[in-house]
């Protein structure tokens, strides 16, 4: 009898080992694709970002006479050139875990206590927030800081934090702005996509009193929710066991796991006024996430859903209304003595 059982046991054990090796390989693969610092080629042909890609491909043919609502321009097409034309300062700080972080600071033309810190998106960099920087700098007269997140731009780091470790880095940037502007500084946080999630994650921390309001644009509920959504949408794969395994690899290599990187949980502790913005046609970070985030926030809040706007395209789709609503919202919480 044992002669028949033994081969079955060996075969089953070998199969389990093989499956385990495949799972380990898959988890490291997805870590490399989503978390590891590298070029994110998988985004280049993502159908959910087609609106941005189309605008990028048409960059040279944009007619200035065409309104921005008819021909939207993504935030990273024109913004960098504008930043580079400004006399900005390059700031450097060191993160709590020893990374050298870089940011770009524009002092307001007229001295003011008002400042904005702009948080960029996934696989982007601070200067890509130039379109927003121009709005705050030229139209609202703010001091502007555009940090490169860890693992992005000129900042150190070999992984993407999805906003979680970044939230502590931004607390350091907030203190740096207060040092430059003074204790009477009035600071707005404004983030897009991963940056939107970042500023929401900051909100659940012990935020300095100088931060008066937060604007989040197309942020996700959590790293877990966003990665799971993309795993199913791009790869047609189930959550288990790939997500837990990749989260474990991320914990070992990057110091955080996907469930803890939650904007939703942080918003439940938030006490700051929050303005939620999202595109109604966003299929990269689904619009339903915006409503879940809005409902989770118990502080003063407003929401603005932009018709026909895809991911990261709310500002470009209806720039005038976007600016009016942002200025009106943050204006309620900042005084005029600066």
Tell me what the mean pLDDT of segment 189-215 comes to.
98
Which of 155, 132, 120 shows the shortest CA–CA distance to 37?
A: 155
Q: Scanning the structure block, which residue is given the tokens 């619009």?
A: 287
Q: Confidence band (pLDDT; 50, 70, 90) for 75?
A: very low
According to DSSP, the β-strands at 274-279 and 211-217 are parallel
Separation of alpha carbons 99 and 154, rounded Å: 11
Could you report the per-residue pLDDT of 170-180, keeping only the tens digit for each? 999 999 999 99
User: What CATH number matches the domain at 35-222+261-331, 3.40.50.10190, 3.40.50.970, 3.40.50.300, 3.40.50.1820?
Assistant: 3.40.50.1820
Residue 40 has pLDDT above 80, yes or no: no
pTM here?
0.89
Q: Phi and psi of 286, rounded to 5°? A: -55, 140
Tell me what the mean pLDDT of segment 49-56 comes to.
57
Which of 296, 26, 310, 299 shows the shortest CA–CA distance to 192?
A: 310
Q: Confidence band (pLDDT; 50, 70, 90) for 46?
A: confident
State residue 1's pLDDT score: 45
Is residue 290 within 8 Å of 258, Cβ to Cβ?
no
Separation of alpha carbons 213 and 334, rounded Å: 8
Q: Confidence band (pLDDT; 50, 70, 90) for 251?
A: very high
Residue 194 has pLDDT above 70, yes or no: yes
Tell me what the mean pLDDT of segment 25-52 comes to.
81
State residue 58's pLDDT score: 40
* Radius of gyration of the chain measured on its C-alpha atoms: 22
Q: Confidence band (pLDDT; 50, 70, 90) for 76?
A: very low
Tell me what the mean pLDDT of segment 75-86 comes to.
78
Could you report the per-residue pLDDT of 98-112, keeping only the tens digit for each? 999 999 999 999 999
Could you report the per-residue pLDDT of 104-152, keeping only the tens digit for each? 999 999 999 999 999 999 999 999 999 999 999 999 999 999 999 999 9
- The domain spans of the chain are 35-222+261-331
Residue 53 has pLDDT above 60, yes or no: no
Structure tokens belonging to residue 293: 């985030």
Is residue 140 within 8 Å of 146, Cβ to Cβ?
no
Q: Scanning the structure block, which residue is given the tokens 């983030």?
A: 191
DSSP states of 77-102? HHHHHHHHTS-PEEEEEE-TTS-EEE
Which of 98, 113, 122, 159 shows the shortest CA–CA distance to 43?
A: 122
| Integer angstrom CA distances of residue 160 from 38, 112, 333 | 9, 34, 32
Q: Confidence band (pLDDT; 50, 70, 90) for 333?
A: very high
């Amino acid at each position: 009898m044992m002669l028949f059982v033994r081969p079955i046991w060996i075969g089953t054990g070998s199969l389990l080992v093989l499956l385990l090796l495949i799972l380990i390989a898959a988890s490291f693969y997805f870590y490399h694709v989503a978390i590891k610092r590298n070029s994110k080629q998988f985004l280049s042909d993502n159908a959910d970002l087609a609106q941005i890609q189309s605008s990028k491909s048409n960059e040279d043919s944009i007619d200035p006479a065409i309104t921005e609502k008819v021909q939207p321009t993504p935030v990273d097409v024109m913004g960098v050139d504008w930043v580079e034309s400004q006399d900005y300062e390059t700031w450097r700080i060191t993160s709590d875990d020893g990374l050298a972080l870089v940011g770009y600071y524009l002092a307001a033309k007229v001295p003011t206590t008002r400042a904005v810190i702009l948080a960029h998106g996934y696989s982007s960099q601070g200067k890509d927030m130039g379109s927003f920087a121009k709005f705050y700098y030229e139209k609202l007269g703010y001091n502007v800081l555009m940090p490169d997140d860890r693992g992005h731009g000129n900042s150190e780091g070999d992984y993407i934090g999805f906003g979680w470790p970044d939230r502590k880095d931004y607390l350091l940037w907030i203190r740096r702005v207060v040092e430059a502007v003074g204790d009477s500084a009035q600071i707005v946080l404004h983030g897009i996509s991963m940056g939107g999630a970042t500023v929401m994650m900051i909100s659940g921390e012990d935020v300095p009193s100088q931060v008066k309001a937060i604007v989040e644009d197309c942020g996700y509920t959590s790293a877990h929710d966003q990665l799971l959504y993309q795993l199913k949408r791009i790869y047609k794969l189930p959550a288990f066991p790939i997500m837990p395994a990749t989260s474990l690899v991320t914990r070992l290599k990057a110091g955080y796991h996907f469930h803890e990187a939650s904007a939703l949980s942080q918003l439940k502790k938030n006490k700051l006024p929050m303005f939620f913005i999202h595109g109604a046609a966003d299929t990269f970070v689904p619009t339903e996430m915006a409503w879940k985030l809005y409902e989770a926030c118990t502080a003063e809040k407003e929401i603005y859903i932009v018709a026909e706007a895809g991911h990261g395209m709310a500002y470009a789709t209806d720039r005038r209304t976007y600016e009016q609503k942002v200025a009106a919202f943050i204006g309620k919480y900042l005084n005029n003595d600066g």
